Amino acid sequence: MRATAFAANSSASSIAKQFHRVLLLSALFVTASLNSFAQIAVSPASLTFAKQLIDTTSTSKAVTITNNGASAQAVNIVMSGDYTETDTCGGSIAGGSGSCTAHISFTPTLIGSIKGAASIYDNSKNLLAFVGLTGTGGAPVTTTPTSLSFTGGTIGTKSAAKTFKIANNTTGTVTINSITTNVTDYTITTGTCLTTPLAKAGSCTVTVTVTPTSAAD
């Protein structure tokens, strides 16, 4: 009975020691990971780009990457979203507060808000630091207002005319090839929009009327 009891106690003690060792190793791993992450610092930690016309590239913005560790650190910069970068890091940053610069640019492919990141990894693909990126893609041509509403019309009777403007937001000349509607009850008068290219910051006016053919129009 004593031998059996001793064996059970010895096994429990062994399991406790192993569990303690696992906890200790886990703590060391977390500490090492936090130290590795803190070794590389970025400034600024985020960038916001002004509205940029789709398919055009912004002026670059600079981010300083600093190695606060004592030894050199390999770095690999991975971009996401509609962002690109060039840098002076050469794949590694010297220790003792050595630094390099990443120049980040924004080339939107969509209209609206576009988020991304510049993620910095070591050669083992461990994340060292990242820079949050935000930008807005703008349309080369916009309309004001963006919609027209016709209410209270009479079947067979043409409505009063309503208008909207088409504006050129680019730095060059824009030629508009067509302005159409998919509902035959609407009549569009394009004015000079199809005959005269829009200069930089220029605009033209379109007139719209509706002659409803049924109560559902």
What band does 36 get if pLDDT is binned at 50, 70 and 90?
Answer: very low
Mean pLDDT of 188-199: 95
Residue 156 has pLDDT above 80, yes or no: yes
Do the beta carbons of residue 145 and residue 167 sit within 8 Å?
A: no
The per-residue DSSP string of 151-201 comes to -S--TT-PPPPEEEEEEE-SSS-B-------S-TTEEEE-TTTTTSPBPTT
pLDDT in tens, 142-151: 999 999 998 8
Of 101, 112, 93, 98, nearest in space to 54 by CA: 112
Of 186, 188, 185, nearest in space to 164 by CA: 188
Residue 211 has pLDDT above 90, yes or no: yes
Residue 121 has pLDDT above 60, yes or no: yes
What band does 101 get if pLDDT is binned at 50, 70 and 90?
Answer: very high
Residue 65 has pLDDT above 50, yes or no: yes
Return the higher-pLDDT residue of 157 and 13: 157
The per-residue DSSP string of 61-127 comes to EEEEEEE-SSS-EE-EEEE-SSEEEEES-TTEE-TTTEEEEEEEEE--SSSEEEEEEEEEE-TT--E
Residue 173 has pLDDT above 60, yes or no: yes
DSSP state of 9: H
The per-residue DSSP string of 124-146 comes to T--EEEEEEEEEEEE-SEEEESS
Mean pLDDT of 122-147: 95
Q: Which residues, in sequence order, are CB contacts of 129 under 8 Å at separation 6+?
A: 37, 40, 41, 42, 65, 119, 120
pLDDT at 112: 95
Lowest mean pLDDT among 12-21, 30-39, 128-137, 166-175: 12-21
Q: Which residues, in sequence order, are CB contacts of 115 under 8 Å at separation 6+?
A: 81, 132, 133, 134
Do the beta carbons of residue 91 and residue 104 sit within 8 Å?
A: no
